[in-house]
Every structure is written in C-alpha cells, then in structure tokens.
Amino acid sequence: MVIGIDASRAVNEEAGIGRYTREVVKRLIDLAADDQFRLFFTFVRDDGHKKRWIADLVSHKENVSVKILPIPGQVKEWLWGQSWMSIGRFMPGAEIIFSPSFFEAAVGEKTPQVVMIHDLSHAIFPDQRGRGVSKRLTERNKAIAEVAARLIAPSEATEDDLVQLFGVGKEKVAVIPEAYNPYFTEQTGLERQPFFLFLGTISPRKNLIGMMEAYAKLPDDIRTGYKLKIAGAEGWNTGETYQAYERLQLGDRVEFLGKVSDEVLRTLYTQSAAFLFPSFYEGFGIPILEAMACGCPVITSSISSMPEVAGEAALLVDPKDHHALARAMERLVTDPHLWAKLRRAGLERAKEFTWERTAKETLEVIHAIGRQT
C-alpha cells in the first residue's frame, strides 16, 4: 500500500502535535516495511535542523520518498481549504493519506484521508484564541471531519466531542490513546523536595486560577512548607491568572518557571511531592503520564479525558471544587501510605501507554481504510 503523510508538524512544531507526528511517523515506517511512504513537508526557513531530521528519518529506508515545498503557513491553510486542492499531487501514487492533525488534511482531497483529531478546544473554549480564530478553526475542523474517511481520537472524551459538536457517527471514529516520551523516567539519586508542580500553557482552560485558589486554602503549615511551581509558556488571556496570584497574596510561595526543557522537567517531576493537573479540558493529557513515569503522584480532574489517562492511579477531583483540590493536596503530603500507593500505581499505569502501541493501532486503521478503496 502507498501511504501519503503530510508530516510538516514534525519539523515545524517542537511539542504537542509536532511530537506526536515525529513519534508516530517514525514508528509507522518501521512497522510497515512492506508499504511505500510518500512524506510531504512544508516550511520556508530551515536552520539546518529540519532537513537533517528528515534525512535521518529516511536514511537507509528504501520504501520512503520525500517532497519539500516552501509554503508559508497561512498560504497553506488557505490552499488546503479549497475544494479544488488535492494534496495527493505532492504524494505520487498515494492510495491513502494519513493526516497527523486536521491542519494537514485537505477539504477537497479525493484520496481517502485518515485524520487525527487531538481535541476540540477551539470549539469548546472559543475565547482562548479569540472568537474569530476559533470560529475559523472550528469550521475547518468540522469540514475535515465530514470529508475524512476515518477519524482518530486520542480518548473517548474527544470521540464524544466529535459526536456531540460535529454530529460525527461513532462508527467513523477510532479511539487510539497517545503516549509519552520514554525519556521521562524516574531519576535515581534525586531526593523529593517540598513543592507541588504544575505543567501547562498559562491559559484559562488549564485552571491555574482554581489551582492557586486551592493552594491558598491549604493549612498554613503546608503552604509554608510546600511551594507551588508552575512550568509552562504563556498562552492566551494570562492577565486574570496573574491578577489572581496578586489577589491571593501568594508571594514567593508560587514560582512561575516559564517554559522549561525536558531535562529540567524530568528533574522537576522526579523531585516534586505531587503533580497537579486540574485542567477543565484535555484531548488526552500527556503530562499525567510523564509525571507518573517519573514516580510522581498525580492529582487531576475527574472530567474530560483525564480519568481515561489516569485510571485508578491518581486522585481525581472536580476542577471547579477548590476545597476538594485543597483536600487532595493535603492528603498526599500528610499520608505517606497514600503517596507510596499512588507512586507505585502511576509507574505501572504509565507502562500501558507507548508510541509503539499508538503507531500499531494507527497503521491498522490506515490499512483497513486502504483495503476498502
């Protein structure tokens, strides 16, 4: 079978969809040695890293061909949205196209497309990026959901969103969990430190205000003994988050670390007393698995996809209930038996999610659709 993939995100985006694309595409090629792959990349500037990564990917792979075009992102978005545009022309002979996100799928494509839908945050939280941008993304996403031969969702929660918001039939969606970078493992020789850790973009959806409200409700001795460290880049509508920090007078008890490297993050996970992830919405929630793999007990939300990822290996709380979140934080740092139990459960839970599994199940979907055409 000849499989076309617009793998642009692999070199244009470091985290998120970029990491998903890199991990899955590499493994698809290794798994499907009898298939032919037509990889397609769009970017304008290259610091040497992009073409080097592509060269390493296809090195000694006789079943892979590559085409690179210098198309700017905004132009590409417009082109891929036109009814006359076929991206199959850039993937000669492709019998089926796998799109690692709806951004890489084309509305007018006649070749069957299997499209990964990571989440529908732009539809559920339209103020996050501004209503104009969110409306445009939602309309494109819905159009792709209609024309795709099959959709992949990383969780049943995202599958439900596709059904409820876009009217997609469940039979059209395959739920295939994502995974985490195996670099995240518990480091030996590092002692636990007295702090809670959060990782995520600073934006309303991540519920940082609710998390700080809960932290402020902790008994004085715990708040004095345990800092709250917030790692992550600034996202959208950050003003209210910093206003809440000032209003709650948290001072040096809360540290905003900004974006951190994987090396620093692995150390933070390993040293943290607990990882907090009380988000209002996630398509999947990879940081939950990263923390678990590093032996860090997790407190996360009881809604959206997070219970699917955490299973019974974390404390689940209503993200709107600040008192419940505060009680969970207090329990973890005052009950060593609970802490040890969740640490062990998390380490085992994380083992269930691998990129090999994600790629294998994705390839099965691709092959199934390809055989139907």
d(CA 362, CA 366): 6
At residue 95, the pLDDT reads 95
Asked whether the predicted pLDDT for residue 318 surpasses 90, the reply is yes
Tell me the pLDDT tens digit for each residue of 190-230: 999 999 999 998 988 999 999 999 999 999 999 999 999 99
At residue 14, the pLDDT reads 85
User: pLDDT band for position 133 (50/70/90)?
Assistant: confident
Assess if residue 57 is contained within a domain.
Answer: yes
At residue 239, the pLDDT reads 82
Containing 344, the helix (H) or strand (E) segment is: helix 336-350
Query: Is residue 346 located within the same domain as residue 359?
Result: no
User: pLDDT band for position 158 (50/70/90)?
Assistant: very high
Closest CA to 168 of 144, 192, 137, 190: 144
Q: Taking each helix axis from N to C terminus, what angle separates 131-147 and 156-166, rounded to the nearest 10 degrees?
A: 100
Asked whether the predicted pLDDT for residue 314 surpasses 90, the reply is yes
Q: List the domain range (segments joined by +) for residue 212.
A: 195-350
Assess if residue 224 is contained within a domain.
Answer: yes
What's the mean pLDDT in 229-242? Answer: 87
Asked whether the predicted pLDDT for residue 373 surpasses 80, the reply is no
Buried b (16+ CB within 10 A) or exposed e, 351-373: eebbbeebbeebbebbbebbeee
Query: Is residue 120 located within the same domain as residue 58?
Result: yes
- Check if the beta carbon of residue 300 is closer than 8 Å to that of residue 310: yes
d(CA 331, CA 323): 12
Tell me the pLDDT tens digit for each residue of 37-71: 999 999 998 888 999 999 999 988 889 999 999 99
Query: Is residue 314 located within the same domain as residue 344?
Result: yes
Asked whether the predicted pLDDT for residue 237 surpasses 80, the reply is no
Query: Is residue 203 located within the same domain as residue 324?
Result: yes
Assess if residue 25 is contained within a domain.
Answer: yes
- In terms of C-beta density within 10 A (0-12 exposed, 13-18 middle, 19 or more buried), how is residue 184 classed? buried
d(CA 120, CA 218): 34
Q: What's the whole-number average pLDDT of the chain?
A: 94
Could you give the angle at the alpha carbon of 149 between the alpha carbons of 125 and 66, nearest 5°? 90
Percent of the chain with pLDDT over 70: 99
What's the mean pLDDT in 263-267? Answer: 96
Percent of the chain with pLDDT over 90: 87
Tell me the pLDDT tens digit for each residue of 6-35: 999 999 988 889 999 999 999 999 999 899
Query: Is residue 153 located within the same domain as residue 17?
Result: yes
Assess if residue 185 is contained within a domain.
Answer: no
Query: Is residue 245 located within the same domain as residue 137?
Result: no
Assess if residue 42 is contained within a domain.
Answer: yes
Query: Is residue 152 located within the same domain as residue 270?
Result: no
Give 275's strand partners: 197, 298
Query: Is residue 6 located within the same domain as residue 149?
Result: yes
At residue 240, the pLDDT reads 87
How many domains are contained in the chain?
Answer: 2
User: pLDDT band for position 268 (50/70/90)?
Assistant: very high
Query: Is residue 127 located within the same domain as residue 212?
Result: no
Which CATH number belongs to the domain containing residue 52 in this structure?
Answer: 3.40.50.2000
Containing 38, the helix (H) or strand (E) segment is: strand 36-42
Asked whether the predicted pLDDT for residue 96 surpasses 80, the reply is yes
Query: Is residue 120 located within the same domain as residue 63?
Result: yes
Query: Is residue 261 located within the same domain as residue 115?
Result: no
Containing 373, the helix (H) or strand (E) segment is: none
At residue 347, the pLDDT reads 98
Amino acid letter for position 123: A
Q: What is the pTM of this model?
A: 0.93
Query: Is residue 311 located within the same domain as residue 363?
Result: no
Assess if residue 188 is contained within a domain.
Answer: no
What's the mean pLDDT in 114-143? Answer: 89
d(CA 11, CA 43): 8
Assess if residue 236 is contained within a domain.
Answer: yes
Asked whether the predicted pLDDT for residue 168 surpasses 80, the reply is yes
Assess if residue 184 is contained within a domain.
Answer: no
Q: Residue 361: CB partners within 8 Å, gap ≥ 6?
A: 174, 176
What's the mean pLDDT in 99-111? Answer: 95
At residue 68, the pLDDT reads 94
What's the mean pLDDT in 264-291? Answer: 97
At residue 125, the pLDDT reads 87
